[in-house]
Amino acid sequence: MTSRIAILGASGYTGAELVRLIATHGRMEIAALTADRKAGSPMAEVYPHLRHLDLPHLQRIEEVDFSGIDMVFCALPHATSQAVIADLPRDLKIVDLSADFRLRDPADYERWYGKPHAAPELQKEAVYGLTEFYRDEIRGARLVAGTGCNAATGQYALRPLIAAEAIDLDDIVLDLKCAVSGAGRSLRENLLHAELSEGYHPYAAGGTHRHLGEFDQEFSALAGRPVRVQFTPHLMPANRGILASAYVTGDARVVHDTLSQAYADEPFLQVLPFGELPSTRHVRGSNLCHIGVSGDRLPGRAMVVAALDNLTKGSSGQALQNANLMLDIPEHTGLMLAPCFP
């Protein structure tokens, strides 16, 4: 049986990535694609790499007939997402890729996103979409909130360690290296090729990046007490990939064992042999996350490094994995593409 899919906000990179993944999924059919400013255009005009696919033209959301739709992927900007989802038919299953439903406490949302949440009642039913840790809730959910891509990477590196108290919870430094597609298809000077290529720099320093809201929420819930990491992302001259380098206090072997056991049955989370560290190039275009652990010459210090593709495992692949669960399709369907290297 084929599920009928709508993608709202299909002109952004996560929207296009969803189409790429669904193209070989086999049990989903794309019934509607929306993009306000590009409404009326064929998708091939907006994304020529999808030219070979038989896709509906882009529409305005108002034009979509949701009656035959089984699942909506909402790839709209935050704040917009809230408003749109609040207006959708109540029985639609939804995976939201924006930041709008990630933070359980509306006060947290307001603090990190600078404005009050407009749909707090929907927030109550939203399930946090980090698949491997919320699988059961996701399976039964109507509305799933896709995680931040940085937030996902850091959590894959650290959740089992925090849950097991395998590391000092008050001494976690998280240095992220993020590719540029995470910033979306936005016309900003610092995203130009001439500006970005050949260099790298930190951004959102000082503990100001919004994904900290997710780290705080999730890590504190796991620990049963407040956990606050020091987190700074760096923008890389590359299109896809997040590398999270976590510097922690703990026994490196215990750290490795804890992660290995936690992820032993997870097809997408690959823990490397002790001492081997991952590279973003080896997960590119795939739904995989590679995780490595190294000790240090300093006794009691360790390093955990996680690498994933921000557009796939960090957003659209995760969204599809969650949708599979919600639609009772085998979880890995459409997600077994091997990384595209070199």
What residues form DSSP beta bridges with 304?
A: 246, 293
Of the candidates 40, 86, 197, 330, which one interacts with its own copies according to CB under 8 A? 197
Q: Residue 228 interacts with its own copies (CB under 8 A)?
A: yes
Q: Stretches 64-72, 85-93, 118-126, 228-236: which one binds its own copies (CB under 8 A)?
A: 228-236
Q: Residue 187 interacts with its own copies (CB under 8 A)?
A: yes
| Residue with Cβ nearer its own copies (80 or 239) | 239
Site for its own copies in 43-82 (CB under 8 A): 47-53
Of the candidates 173, 221, 254, 327, which one interacts with its own copies according to CB under 8 A? 173
C-alpha to C-alpha distance for 335 and 254, rounded to whole angstroms:
31
Q: Residue 41 interacts with its own copies (CB under 8 A)?
A: no
Q: Which residue has the tokens 């749909």?
A: 119
Site for its own copies in 259-318 (CB under 8 A): 267-268, 270, 272, 275, 277-286, 288, 290, 294-298, 301, 303, 305, 307
In the complex, the smallest distance separating the C-beta of residue 309 from its own copies, rounded to whole angstroms, is: 9
In the complex, the smallest distance separating the C-beta of residue 110 from its own copies, rounded to whole angstroms, is: 16
Of the candidates 83, 86, 107, 340, which one interacts with its own copies according to CB under 8 A? 340
At 169 the three-state DSSP class reads: coil
Cα atoms found within 13 Å of the Cα of residue 170, Cβ hemisphere only: 1
Q: Residue 339 interacts with its own copies (CB under 8 A)?
A: yes
Q: Count CB-CB contacts under 10 A for residue 135.
A: 13
Q: Which residue has the tokens 């190294």?
A: 294
- Take residue 86 and report the two structure tokens written for it: 């609040």
In the complex, the smallest distance separating the C-beta of residue 142 from its own copies, rounded to whole angstroms, is: 29
Cα atoms found within 13 Å of the Cα of residue 298, Cβ hemisphere only: 7
Element (H, E) at 5: strand 3-8
Q: Count CB-CB contacts under 10 A for residue 191.
A: 15
Give CA 177 to chain center in angstroms. Answer: 15
Site for its own copies in 7-26 (CB under 8 A): 13, 16, 19-20, 23-24
C-alpha to C-alpha distance for 136 and 134, rounded to whole angstroms:
6
Catalytic site residue from 149, 178, 289, 340: 149
- Take residue 58 and report the two structure tokens written for it: 């882009």
Q: Stretches 89-97, 110-118, 158-166, 206-214: which one binds its own copies (CB under 8 A)?
A: 206-214
Q: Stretches 74-82, 92-100, 150-158, 168-176: which one binds its own copies (CB under 8 A)?
A: 168-176
| Residue with Cβ nearer its own copies (86 or 192) | 192
C-alpha to C-alpha distance for 87 and 241, rounded to whole angstroms:
34
Whether 95 contacts 72, CB under 8 Å: yes
Q: Residue 224 interacts with its own copies (CB under 8 A)?
A: no
Closest CA to 4 of 82, 84, 93: 93
Q: Residue 207 interacts with its own copies (CB under 8 A)?
A: yes
In the complex, the smallest distance separating the C-beta of residue 267 from its own copies, rounded to whole angstroms, is: 7
Closest CA to 98 of 87, 114, 82: 82
Catalytic status, residue 74: no
| Residue with Cβ nearer its own copies (143 or 335) | 335
Site for its own copies in 97-156 (CB under 8 A): none
| Residue with Cβ nearer its own copies (6 or 22) | 22
Element (H, E) at 262: helix 252-262
The catalytic residues are 149
